[in-house]
Amino acid sequence: DEEIMDAVHRWAQVEGIFAAPEGAAALAAYRKLRGNGFFSSGDRVVLFNTGTGLKYLDTIEDEKEVAHRKLPTSRQIAGIIGPY
């Protein structure tokens, strides 16, 4: 579902949470309910995510992003894992 995949990407970008699609479904539902005025301004909402997006890399990765991604050079990798 497009809304769920959008929620997966949004949660990762905004909160740093790499949610599984089933966990991101809670965020998608929340966003829809909030948009419909279901919640009051003082409501506290808790979303649970018990899965990891790492199990779904083949499903979650955007094919357009993968096609344009450049592989890092060995110099870039060395700078991340230790002094070069």
Name the residue ranges covered by the structural domains of the chain: 2-81
Residue 83 has pLDDT above 60, yes or no: no
Q: Percent of the chain at pLDDT above 90?
A: 39
Confidence of residue 65 (pLDDT cuts 50, 70, 90): low
Which numeric CATH code is attached to 2-81?
3.40.50.1100
The predicted pLDDT at position 59 comes to 78
Q: Residue 60's pLDDT is what?
A: 74
Mapped onto helix, strand or coil, the DSSP state of residue 2 is helix
Task: Please state the rounded mean pLDDT for residues 33-59.
Answer: 90
Question: Token pair for residue 33?
Answer: 């309910």
Q: What is the mean pLDDT of residues 68-74?
A: 62
Is pTM, for the whole model, over 0.75?
Answer: no
Cα separation, 61 vs 46, whole angstroms: 26
